[in-house]
Amino acid sequence: MKNGSISDISEDILKGCKAKNIKSQEQLYRAFYGFAMSLCLRYCKTPEDAREVVNDGFLKVFDKIHRFDPALSFKAWFKRILINTAIDHYRANYRYYQHDDFQMASGLESIEETPLDRLGYEELLKKIQLLPPAYKLAFNLFVIDEYTHEEIAKKLGISTGTSKSNVARAREILRKILSSAGRVYLEK
């Protein structure tokens, strides 16, 4: 991705989307669906949730495409939208997730030991899904998407200390998951 270029989105698609042309919108969707789904699967609890966030994200993009600056990267702009949508989704469904955290984690088998250089996306996803939602959110934002603790605190409405603590707890749990030979038991 190059800054200062529009290499990650064609000018025709951009023009068409601004004119609310459905063909252009489909082209954009096809081009960025995989990227969006991969990102949302990390943030959401289930594939159904991820699909919902992806579609909501695309709807926001189609609505606000005129605000996009073609001099910047579309992917970076879209990523911010997706993450914000995932956070909104997490807030909206928080109460429904709370009860399942411990139950779900305690019922899963541990992952088999994996060589350092062979940890694939699917395996990473499985491990991340074992984290409690608040830890998963902070971990994704800080470690994978490289937000600062200040930004995370602002986005989630928590203190930077809580953000740091959540990331640290997430790492601790992931270490246990990766190294455990038996069942994994997580505490909230």
Partner 1 sequence: MTDWENIPDDELDAILRKSAEGHHSPFNESEWNGLATQLIARRKKAGRIKVFSYLLAGLFVAAGFIFFRMHHSVPEKTDAPKADHPIKARETGEVLGSDSSDANYKPLRQNENPVFGVRQASDSSGADYKPFRQNENPVYGIRRARETTAPAFTSAVLREQDASENKAGNESRETGYTDRRLPEGSPVLIKREKAKLLSPVLHLPQINATVTPKSESARARQKGMSIRLLYSPDFSTIGTNKIFKAGSNAGVLGEYRFNRQWSVQAGVIKSLKYYHAYPDQYDSPYNPPSLKDIEAICHMLDIPLNLRYDLVNTAQKKWFVSAGVTSYLMLKEKYSYNYNYDASAHRKGWEGKTGFHPFGVANLSAGYERKLFRNFTIQAEPFLKIPLQNVGYGNVKLATFGLFISGKIELSTQPK
Say whether residue 8 binds partner 1 (CB under 8 A).
no
CA-wise closest residue to 74 among 117, 11, 152, 132: 11
- The answer to whether the beta carbons of residues 135 and 173 sit under 8 Å apart is yes
Say whether residue 33 binds partner 1 (CB under 8 A).
yes
Say whether residue 48 binds partner 1 (CB under 8 A).
yes
CA-wise closest residue to 181 among 113, 129, 130, 126: 113
Compute the least distance from the CB of residue 64 to partner 1, in Å.
14
Say whether residue 120 binds partner 1 (CB under 8 A).
yes
Compute the least distance from the CB of residue 143 to partner 1, in Å.
5
Say whether residue 184 binds partner 1 (CB under 8 A).
no
Compute the least distance from the CB of residue 72 to partner 1, in Å.
20
End-to-end CA distance of the chain: 38
Q: What gap in Å lies between CA 42 and CA 62, rounded to an integer?
A: 23
Question: Which residue in 12, 26, 150, 187 binds partner 1 (CB under 8 A)?
Answer: 26
